[in-house]
Amino acid sequence: MAVLDQLTSQQAIDLENKYGAHNYHPLPVVLNRGEGVYVWDVEGKKYYDFLSAYSAVNQGHCHPKIISAMVQQAQTLTLTSRAFYNDMLGKFEKFACEFFNFDKLLPMNTGAEAVETALKLCRKWAYEVKGIDENQAEIIVCENNFHGRTTTIISFSNDPVARKNFGPYTKGFIKIAYNSIEALEEALKNNPNVSGFLVEPIQGEAGVYVPDEGYLTQAKALCEKYNVLFIADEVQTGIARTGELLAVDHEQVKPDILILGKAISGGVYPVSAVLANNAVMNVIKPGNHGSTFGGNPVAAAVAMAALEVIRDENLAENASELGVLFRSELNKYIETSQIVKLVRGKGLLNAIVINDDEESETAWNICMALKENGLLAKPTHGNIIRFAPPLVMTKAQLLDCVQIITNTLKQFEV
Ligand SMILES: Cc1ncc(COP(=O)(O)O)c(C=O)c1O
């Protein structure tokens, strides 16, 4: 089979099943083109993308400005490694530091790598600045977190599917309830070894759990009180998704360490980053950490273009406005619905909770029916369906999507 042979959907699925590890359970749709809020399958059927590659494609598929930055840079210089300087990385670092208001940036490639970077940075700070005894540093994390798939990260997950038979696990983490200031204070007081609090401002993978207003502000204040770093994982919530540039901006909270990934490249290229001020980032010295591809010239060019699109097209404002509209339209439907319990979220990161138990197939079946009706979404956990379209969506398109969603849900009402 030649690379350019046109496959049917079934052929593509069969190939993945036979030759690919079965580490995902995709919806049976095979895409071969994307533009803005739309994707097309290999048979030419058009869909609204209501997942945006887990909030990576915030700027819409194949945004011309981002693609052009990538093509131009790819024809000039792609990779130097950090053994040498390149003329793009510094520009990107300055741009992103000013954009997010931090002193320094450490570039990586994937979200999980950026989380690992933040954990290492926090531990090093703990020993070299806070003065914790060697190997005693502890980091507080939240129940039902999702921060990626590395061995250390799954060590503090409580998802049995992600953890089982991958031990032994990394030590040094304390798990507390999400959205509980009392639990945080309890974990902080009388434990001088705590060096960081790692938190998702909204728990995306867990099912779009939005904490109470004031939670992030109070958590940050507690971190300051106990001299502990507040580490915000904005890999999914960041870059305008929730209606502000960062989800912490809803409460004007400034993290000590900010973790970004996904939409920092508009979903065009793997780019992630950790940002911090000098007092924290300066503990990192040559040889402490790195990545062959981290901060490569293509990544730098793509990320700068992707952030410019967020700013120039006012995507945070659009996400905010469309998010309010989306929830209010769905709430009208839910008033008389038996099948949907509620809609929740911020900006264009939303989820509906299906009125069925977690083990039921209903959410999956609804996603299959949505697919038939021209809209792609995926359950997060059991009975929860996440809705996260590209932020370049128009109001008319959003209302069209609401129609598709509510018409589909009607098929499932008893
Ligand atoms: C909050 C959060 N952190 C980290 C990650 C991991 O990112 P990646 O899949 O790029 O490693 C994700 C991915 O969904 C995420 O949602």
Catalytic residue among 99, 102, 146, 293: 146
Query: Rounded to whole angstroms, how far apart are CA atoms 193 and 165?
Result: 29
Evaluate if residue 344 carries a pLDDT over 70: yes
**Residue 93 is encoded by which pair of tokens?**
């670092």
Q: What is the pLDDT of residues 210-261, one digit of tens each?
A: 999 999 999 999 999 999 999 999 999 999 999 999 999 999 999 999 999 9
CA distances from 300 to 42, 51, 233, 351 (A): 32, 25, 21, 32
Rounded Cα gap, residues 314 and 245, in angstroms: 10
What tens digit of pLDDT does each residue of 354-382 get? 999 888 999 999 999 999 999 999 999 88
Residue owning the nearest CA to atom 13 of ligand 1? 148
Q: Is the CB of 204 under 6 A from ligand 1?
A: yes
Output the pLDDT for position 330: 98
**Segment 335-361 mean pLDDT:** 95
Q: Atom 4 (ligand 1): residue with closest C-alpha?
A: 147
- Whether residue 228 contacts residue 256, with contact meaning beta carbons closer than 8 Å, is answered with no
Evaluate: CB of 389 within 6 angstroms of ligand 1. no
Closest-lying ligand 1 atom to the alpha carbon of residue 203: 1
Is the Cβ atom of 233 under 6 angstroms away from ligand 1? yes
* Cα 148 to ligand 1 centroid, rounded to whole Å: 5
For residue 95, pLDDT over 80 is answered with yes
Residue 41 has pLDDT above 80, yes or no: yes
When pLDDT is cut at 50, 70 and 90, the band that residue 32 belongs to is very high
Pocket lining: 201 vs ligand 1, CB cutoff 6 Å: no
* pLDDT over 90, % of the chain: 96
Q: Atom of ligand 1 at shortest distance to CA of 270?
A: 10
For residue 116 and ligand 1, the question of a CB distance below 6 A is answered with no
> What's the gap in Å between 334 CA and the centre of ligand 1?
30
Q: Which of 41, 49, 233, 256 is catalytic?
A: 233
pLDDT at 3 exceeding the cut of 70: no
Q: Is 156 a catalytic residue?
A: no
To the query of whether residue 159 is one of the catalytic residues in this protein, the response is: no
Residue of 262, 346, 371, 378 marked active site: 262
Contacts of 335 (CB under 8 A, 6+ apart): none
pLDDT band at 414 (very low <50, low <70, confident <90, very high): confident
Which of 147, 159, 178, 203 to probe ligand 1 with, by most ligand atoms within 8 A of CB? 147
Is residue 110 in contact with ligand 1, taking CB distance under 6 Å? yes
Q: Are 87 and 298 in contact (CB under 8 A)?
A: no
CB of 261 within 6 A of ligand 1: the answer is: yes
> What pLDDT, on the 0 to 100 scale, is given for residue 319?
98
Indicate if ligand 1 lies below 6 Å from the C-beta of 41.
Answer: no
pLDDT digits over 122-151, tens only?
A: 999 999 999 999 999 999 999 999 999 999
Question: For 377, how many CA atoms within 13 A lie in the half-sphere containing its CB?
Answer: 30
* Amino acid 358: pLDDT: 86
- Locate tokens 């264009």: which residue? 348
Question: What pLDDT is recorded for position 359?
Answer: 87
Asked if residues 203 and 146 have their Cβ atoms less than 8 Å apart, the reply is yes
In this structure, are residues 174 and 187 in contact, taking their beta carbons and an 8 Å threshold? yes
Residue 79 contacts residue 296 (beta carbons within 8 Å): yes
Where does residue 370 rank: exposed (0-12), middle (13-18), buried (19+ CB within 10 A)?
Answer: buried
205 Cβ inside 6 Å of ligand 1:
yes
> What structural domains and CATH numbers belong to the chain?
9-59+314-410 (3.90.1150.10), 64-312 (3.40.640.10)
- Can 171 be counted among the known catalytic residues? no
**pLDDT 10s digits, 251-294:** 999 999 999 999 999 999 999 999 999 999 999 999 999 999 99
Report how many helices (DSSP H) and strands (DSSP E) the chain contains, helices first: 14, 15
pLDDT score recorded for residue 382: 83
**Ligand 1 binding pocket includes 235 (Cβ within 6 Å):** yes
Which residue has the CA at smallest separation from atom 10 of ligand 1?
Answer: 111
Other C-beta atoms lying within 10 Å of the C-beta of residue 3: 4
Distance 338 CA to ligand 1 centre (A): 33
Query: pLDDT at position 1, please?
Result: 67
Q: How confident is the model at residue 4 (pLDDT cuts 50, 70, 90)?
A: low
pLDDT (average), residues 189-213? 97
**Average model confidence (pLDDT) for the chain?**
97
Gap from CA of 21 to ligand 1 centroid (Å): 20
